[in-house]
Structure 1
Amino acid sequence: MTKKLSALALSLLLIATSWLVHIPVAQAFENLAIPAFRLQETTPVAPGTTYKQYQWSYEQGNTKINLLEIDLSNPYLTIDVIAGKGKVAERLNVSAMAREQGAVAAINGDFFNMRGEGAPFGPMVRSGELLSSPINHSGLYALGLSKDGRAYIDLFHFEGLVVAPDGTSFELTGLNKASFLMNPDNRNGHVDRLHLYDHNWGSLTRGQGSGIDLADTVELLIDNNLVLAVSAGAPFEFAPPLGQKILRGHGLAAQYLLNHFQVGSPISIDYKMIPDQEWQMVIGGHSLLVQAGKAVPYARELSTLDGLRARSALGISQDGQTLFVVAVEGRTEQSLGLRLGDLSRFFEHIGAWTALNLDGGGSTTMVTRQLGDWQATRLFAPEQAQERLVPNALALFVNAPQGELKGLFIQGPDLLLPGETVAYTLKAYDSYYNPVDGKTLSVQWALSDQLGELDQNKFTAQQAGVANIQVLEQSNSITATFPVIILSQQDLLEIAIKTTVEAFELGKAVPLTVQLTTKAGRTRSVEASQLQWQFENARGDLSPQGMLRIDHIDGPEALLRASYGNVSAELPIGLLMKKEPEEQYLATATVTGNIVNVRQGPGTDYDVIASIAKGTNLPLLDLKPGWAEVLINDSRSGWISREWSEQFLSTGVITGNIVNLRSGPGRDFEILTTLKKEEKVFLLKESDNWYRVITGEGNKGWMSADYVEKNILP
């Protein structure tokens, strides 16, 4: 892919990450027999696309492996990249990307630096357009699809050149890149280099971070091969407009721009990505898992990557006509996760010729459109509470025409109690697996036995047994049958009652859920109205919708009892005792010197109040030039030299438009300043849903946790 540009934009960043450092693994790869990956489910998703779920077991438990097997030769399929909210460095979660772009399936993509601008490490080509260049000599592989639909996994490189009116030239290092390390010397990839940014770059900052002095940078605004403006020592305060570029230089590159360009100067920019061919789509990844059909040792340092984690990865067949998309559920109640070596073995097991690792852990997310559904939904929960915001995703799009009705199925609970009434949903799909609106079909509902009453799609269970609900689509004579087990009292094993609180506040209603477990091991949630309820030593109310309110405690051992037949369960009722909010420290400092003095203030003129041994971890309270304030014990703090300690800070991104920074953790405290949306902050401490933060300008204060997205490192 070669491109001749009329404008250049260059910007330097600094936040370095060790994941770009190529460290060969010395240990030998175990030549173990391929383990028994057990196929649990096979379901069509789209033309030429099949979903499969496998299970793999460790001593600690089971792991679920989700696979999409895609025939790239199918004319109704398109594989492409989704770039966050639409531009490089505009992160979004995978579910939202798929929903907004209409993808049938998607998986998270490239690695990125969560403390930086959020751009992917590797290359990104969307619909034939290069959005972001690869990092040269990084050893990071990428997946590419050529215009003829063939898939490749290869190392990608970038070549670029800027030429001034007097004929002097300077190497162009990258397009739309955040801060990164250059192999083999691990130098910051923006130091003494030129970088170009175009309208596909979504951040107001360009390559910024520690190690880059803005006084040593120069930016040119370019339009139609002419320099429109020059900014030295300070970046332009806007993103590149449509049709224009910003060329950013640092150090030697900045001097080149100052010496050879001025407003009105013509400029020539050429660049290309190698392998140089017409790429339809490219998405960056990490190291190889499989090469020439065999599992291979992971070629990078494993200390931060291995272990039982959620995983995302891609593989291709030898002819490049089949794409394997794999997402492993990890660190949930249902699935442990997978080690990298076992992930390699899985790709070998399914017949991949080449496979590469994608960003995993907390980033792993896969969504697919289930048969009969109208949009893709997430297949499993992420490692953390919410989906991570990621820079890009690999997505599957379908452009098949409407086909003949192919199948029907009934959706709803298949375990009922006598007396329950459920409205079942009819779902349908055509011969191309497009969804069909069941409400538009001419269907007839029927019940094959007399265990209940059926009124169209509404079924009321009456007697214990197995009732078969049937639907006939009359035009095509397609039928669907849905067996429903109606439980007897003898079928139940236990009742489980749960609330969202451990203790109750008088007069405040909280949701209550009920789950039944049968002697056959089946479970299902039921409405509270299906059971008998009794308060003991307490008074309150439980609504049919399951909202529980406690009004009074009459004595010790207060409880709420639920019963169904001879099976019962008890929920202890305790009152909420008011207490001071607990404080949680989010930043730490680790002593790196052998014995480090702790002083009363940030400087050697202050008295020594303690000495701390190497390796000690202390809560970090504040930062000043050269010094860090740490908590020595529950009541005393002091200052240590930052030269002899390593600081670890959680980061956050402001999500509100204008957010107040206050002098204390609450809205009654004084407003010190305001923070803007997308501004990055360092999180020091959490107290009762408030964060104590330090801004990039050094301002310190408290802000509501409701208006900041906390970054959780994998």
Structure 2
Amino acid sequence: MLSRTKRKVAITAMSAAMLLSLPLGASASTKTVASYPVSSGVNYSHYTYSASSHINHLSINLSDPYTKLKMGVPSPLSKTAPTLTLANRDSREGHRVVGAVNASFFDMKTGMPMYLLSEGNEIVNGGVISSSNAYYVSHPIAFGVTSNGLAEIDNFNLGIEIGAKGNVYQMTGINRERQADETIIFTPQHDKNSTGSNEFGIEIVVETNAPVTSTHYGQQLQGKVVNVRGYGDKQSVAIPPNGFVLSVHGKKGLDRFKSLTVGDDVSLTLSIDDQWKDSEFMMASGPMLVKDGKRHITMDTTNWRATALTARTAIAISKDKKQVHLVTVDSRAGYSNGMTLTQFANYLVSQGYDRALNFDGGGSTTMGIRNYGSNTVVLANRTTNSSQRNISAIVEAISTAPTGEANILNVSRQQVGEMLVGATADLKINHVLDAYYNPIVPNSSQIVTTSSNGTVEGTGLTYKAVKAGVDRIQVSYGRAQQSFPVTVVDQPAKLVVKSSATSVKPGESITFSATPEDATGQPIIYQSSQLLWSVEDEEIGSITSSGTFTASKPGITEVRATLGTKVIAVPIEVKSIEAPNPTPPTGGDIGQIIDFFKDVPLSYPYATEIYFLRNKQVITGDTDGNFNPRNTLSREHAAVILSRAFNLPPVEEARQSFSDVPKSHRYYNEISAIANANIVGGYSDGTFNPKGQLTRSQMAMILVKAYKLEGESVNKFKDVSPQHGAYKQIHILANYGITTGNEKGEFMPGTPVNRAQFSAFLYRSMHL
């Protein structure tokens, strides 16, 4: 921090070769990083300035009935402490410190403040004014809150007058270390019992008729000299509890007071100019930076103290003296460049402040604020060093508002996304505040969750989705409320099922997993217990609730994942340990089978249909010799099969182009061919969605259009309403016996078609 040598302020060295300063008059931009109220009359903001400096700002409205400014000092005064320590020490119910900055410069050797501090009319610290404008404080200027409750930054005139032998003399200080050529007064309110002055001067002890219990403006003391310690005497001089000590150094002072002897009358008068009399507090500092809205720096701006790029602290006021601004600029390598004193003054002018005064900067620059949900004042800025520096005085923004009822609620959802009917989700209480931003300790059982359309409900920190719909969640805590949008669905838009293998031998196990997603591919909210696993043929194998399939005997079956109303079937083959090669039969509608699929024995339910299409070269298997009949069919593979079934020649130019099927696409010719033949079209957004799964309803629409089928079945499927987009086509297929639905009378229009089912439907359509 700052110390003092003789009558000059000695500042901790700061390198002027740090970072290049911003050019004066350069165009500067301010960007808000954060801004919010910390009490009813105090707002905190964090800015970046010219993209090189970080500024923290507390705006205090003294017109707010619950807002005050106070001065905080260590106890004892010489025991320095961090800004946050002092702020939290002073915070209590009805007197909450919501923000603070470091203020007074201090002597690093003694820990004492260097400049005048007073509270009420009580002089807390005497202070000194430098005789050279190379130092920060060469003019008597102070910030304070005057007796009318308004802020002030202005000059002051401190009177410390000694009357002796008919003469009145102005002293240079009170209750601080005596420096060269000074005459200092020590009262019982000094932080030590003795003066501590060296032998190169005289000490005159004066006693009054009553104890001196205060040192304050307007005070007048009359006493008599009871002891004089002579020049060169090293004896310690105690401060009498009922008097004061006159400590003199230098020729001028010695000439004035060397004739005083025991029994002489001496008076002491303390005064301050009228505008500071009865002030709530005042603290001297410097230099002044802004006056009447213009830059006004009361020190030599070419001095290295002013030109150093470093952290700075200032206090500013509005012209009506009702708004006070505590401002810090950080200096930390790689984060914030700091400012010169001129740049800092220019910034304060740009903000429209009427007056501004510099406080202690550099490593001492610290701002603390009260964050939501806590009464503890925490660090808002990034200090120059890794830890806060101990300082000697702070300015505190105080909220006197008592803690009231809940008015502000802030909760967050542990999971965000579409919710499945029956799923539960949890809330986290971030904070509950009253109308004055005082924190309230939350009771989670008082949280009530509802929704406008009744899609969710809950008490406490857990809520449940009860019906599908687009809605808005309303979370209440007493009168405090917060809301979120919510979408509840009865099934995920996508359910991606994966397995660790596609085939297994009897006695072995494989694991299935399912990932539900919304239409954009984001996960939905559901509970694992809602995901149900089943096996089509339980004689072939069984599956646990966690998705582990265990094979029992050879065969082909389906593993089904059900989530809400969504069902996804995945084929699984249990292979014999010694699987014999099948003997190719001949004759019948199949004809001579040249090559068998490994996974389609003749006993397979759709073997006739599959091998008919194989012989016609409409379908082919995979490179491993399998057909994978239970695999779902993509739209691009359906296009390939249909182009072969209708013997459509490849096209070089498509009459209908799709944004997701460029000419480089593997199946561009086949997709373009069926689109040109008006068998399969795309979507309204101009896409074909080649990788998308082909659903049973889409298959119905394709086959009816391709084979120009007409006439609906009288019997209708339970799960296909007249409003369904493929209602007519589905029941045309039923009329021709191409589909019969399941044993429940359902068609399951949204279920993807697998390769075996599509082969069967296509075979039946071709044989009408």
Instruction: Give the TM-score category using the shorter length.
Output: 0.5 to 0.7
Cα offset, 1:67, TM superposition: 0.8
Residue number among 42, 47, 71 corresponding to 1:81 in the alignment: 71
Q: Is the 8 A contact 1:119 1:178 kept in 2?
A: no
The answer to whether the 8 A contact 1:218-1:258 is kept is no
Conserved? CA contact 1:174–1:195, under 8 Å: yes
For the pair 1:117 / 2:106, whether they are aligned, the reply is: no
- Provide the residue aligned with 1:55 in structure 2: 48
2:363 alignment partner, SS class: helix
How many angstroms apart in 1 are the aligned matches of 2:368 and 2:67? Answer: 16
- Residue aligning to 2:380: 379
Paired positions, count:
437
Tell me what 1:670 maps to.
none
Correspondence 1:276-291 to 2 at 5 A: 277-278=276-277, 279-291=279-291
1:432 match: 436
Task: Name the counterpart of 2:479.
Answer: 476
User: Any conservation in 2 of the 1:310–1:327 contact (CA below 8 Å)?
Assistant: yes
Amino acid of the structure 2 residue aligned with 1:146: T
**Inter-CA distance 411–219: structure 2 relative to 1 (3 Å threshold):** farther
> What whole-Å deviation, never above 9, does each CA across 1:378-399 have from its counterpart, x for those lacking one?
1133212321121211112222
> Take 1:257 and 1:82, find their aligned partners in 2: how far apart are those partners?
37
AA in 2 matched with 1:142 = A
Higher RCO structure, 1 or 2 (CA under 8 Å, sep 6+): 1
Aligned match of 2:654: none
* Structural mapping, 1:554-565, within 5 Å: none
Shift of 1:156: 2.4
Q: Is the 8 A contact 1:123 1:156 kept in 2?
A: no
Equivalent residue for 1:688? none
CA contact (8 A) 2:285 2:359 kept: yes
Distance 2:166 2:462 in 1: 79
Partner of 1:708: none
Q: Which is richer in strand?
A: 1
Determine the C-alpha separation between the residues in 2 that align with 1:284 and 1:129.
14
Output the CA distance in 2 between the equivalents of 1:447 and 1:396.
Answer: 40
Answer yes or no: is the 8 Å Cα contact 2:161–2:268 preserved in 1.
yes
1:438-517 to 2 correspondences below 5 Å? 438-439=442-443, 442-444=446-448, 457=461, 471-473=475-477, 475-479=478-482
Contact preservation (8 Å) 1:311, 1:361: yes
With the length of structure 2 as denominator, give the TM-score of the two structures. Answer: 0.49
Do residues 218 (structure 1) and 203 (structure 2) align? yes
Question: Structure 1 residue 158: deviation in Å?
Answer: 2.4
How many angstroms does 1:108 deviate by? 0.6
1:458 Cα deviation from its structure 2 partner: 8.8
Task: State the Cα distance separating 1:196 from its structure 2 match.
Answer: 1.7
Could you say if the C-alpha distance between residues 457 and 404 of structure 1 is closer, same or farther in structure 2, counting changes exceeding 3 Å? closer
Which digits, 9 at most, give the CA deviation of each residue in 1:365-411, with x for residues without a partner? 11111233112111133212321121211112222234443202248
The letter of the residue matching 1:52 is S
Alignment-mate amino acid for residue 139 of structure 1: H
Contact 1:140–1:155 (CA<8 Å) still a contact in 2? yes
Contact 2:445 2:459 (8 Å CA) reproduced: no
Q: Which moved more, 1:376-385 or 1:396-405?
A: 396-405
Q: 1:430 to 1:249 in 2, by over 3 A?
A: same
Q: Which amino acid aligns with 1:271?
A: L
Gap change, CA 1:31 and 1:251, over 3 Å in 2: closer
User: Hey, what does 1:366 align to over in structure 2?
Assistant: 367
Question: Residues 362 and 170 from structure 1, CA distance in 2 versus in 1: closer, same or farther, beyond 3 angstroms?
Answer: same
Equivalent in 85, 91, 97 of residue 86 of structure 2 = 97
State the Cα distance separating 1:350 from its structure 2 match. 1.8
Match of 1:38 in 2: 31
Change (3 A) 1:242 1:317: farther
- Report the residue type matching 2:162 in the other structure: V
SS class of match (2:346): helix
Check the 8 A contact 1:84/1:93 in 2, yes or no: no
Aligned to 1:405, what secondary structure does the other structure show?
A: coil
Deviation at 1:480, TM superposition (A): 6.1
Deviation of 1:259 (Å): 3.1
Give the Cα separation in 2 of the matches to 1:411 and 1:244.
64
Distance 1:49 1:469, change over 3 A: same
Letter in 1 for 2:75: K
Aligned to 2:401: 400
Paired with 1:333 and 1:446, the residues of 2 have a C-alpha distance of 47
Contact 2:412 2:430 in 1 (8 A): yes
Matches within 5 A, 1:690-709: none
Change (3 A) 1:194 1:334: same
Q: Which amino acid aligns with 2:205?
A: L
SS at match of 1:38: strand
2:445 & 2:227 partners in 1: Cα distance?
Answer: 63
Distance change in 2, residues 1:56/1:30 (3 Å):
closer
Q: Deviations over 1:3-38 (max 9, x none)?
A: xxxxxxxxx984743569xxxxxxxx9762652112
Distance 1:404 1:456, change over 3 A: closer
Matches within 5 A, 1:660-671: none
Residue correspondence of structure 1 range 136-215 to structure 2 within 5 A? 136=129, 138-139=138-139, 141-164=141-164, 166-178=165-177, 190-203=179-192, 206=195, 213-215=198-200
Distance 1:203 1:125 in 2: 18
Q: Residues 48 and 54 of structure 2 are in contact (CA less than 8 Å); yes or no, is this contact kept in structure 1? A: yes
Higher mean C-alpha deviation, range 429-438 or range 399-408: 399-408
Aligned to 1:674: none
User: Could you tell me whether the CA contact under 8 Å between 2:202 and 2:228 is conserved in 1?
Assistant: no
Paired with 1:482 and 1:396, the residues of 2 have a C-alpha distance of 37
1:17 paired to 2:9: yes
Secondary structure at the counterpart of residue 332 of structure 2: coil
Q: Which amino acid aligns with 2:9?
A: T
Q: Distance in 2 between matches of 1:255 and 1:387?
A: 46
Secondary structure of the residue that 2:172 maps to in structure 1?
A: strand
Structure 1 SS opposite 2:283: strand
Match of 1:106 among 100, 104, 107: 100
Cα distance, 1:292 vs structure 2: 1.9
Look up the equivalent residue of 1:214 and give its one-letter code.
Answer: E
Q: TM (normalized to structure 1)?
A: 0.53
CA shift at 1:230, angstroms? 4.9
Q: Does structure 1 conserve the Cα–Cα contact (< 8 Å) formed by 2:28 and 2:50?
A: no
Q: Which has the higher helix share?
A: 2
Q: Is the 8 A contact 1:317 1:352 kept in 2?
A: yes
Write the deviation string for residues 571-616 of structure 1: whole angstroms up to 9, x where unpaired.
Answer: xxxxxxxxxxxxxxxxxxxxxxxxxxxxxxxxxxxxxxxxxxxxxx
Letter of the structure 1 residue corresponding to residue 148 of structure 2 = D
State which drifts further: 70-79 or 168-177.
168-177
Q: Is the CA contact (8 Å cut-off) linking 2:204 and 2:247 kept in structure 1?
A: yes
- Closer, same or farther: CA 349–406 of 1 in aligned 2, 3 Å: farther
Report the CA distance between 1:455 and its aligned residue.
10
Asked if 1:64 is matched to 2:75, the reply is no
In 1, Cα distance between the equivalents of 2:291 and 2:435? 36
Cα gap change, 1:472/1:112 in structure 2, threshold over 3 Å: closer, same or farther? Answer: same
For the 8 Å contact 1:366–1:378, the answer to whether it is kept is yes
Q: Are the aligned partners of 1:131 and 1:175 in contact in 2 as well (CA < 8 Å)?
A: no
Whether the 8 Å CA contact 1:316–1:353 is kept in 2: the answer is yes
CA contact (8 A) 1:177 1:207 kept: no
Deviation readout 1:406-464 (Å, 9 max, x if unpaired): 20224899999xxxx9994542221122222223982236999xxxxx995599xxxxx
SS in structure 1 of the partner of residue 407 of structure 2: strand
TM superposition shift of 1:291: 2.2
Instruction: Note the 1:259-274 alignment, pairs <5 A.
Output: 259-262=259-262, 266-274=265-273
The structure having more radius of gyration, on CA atoms, is 2
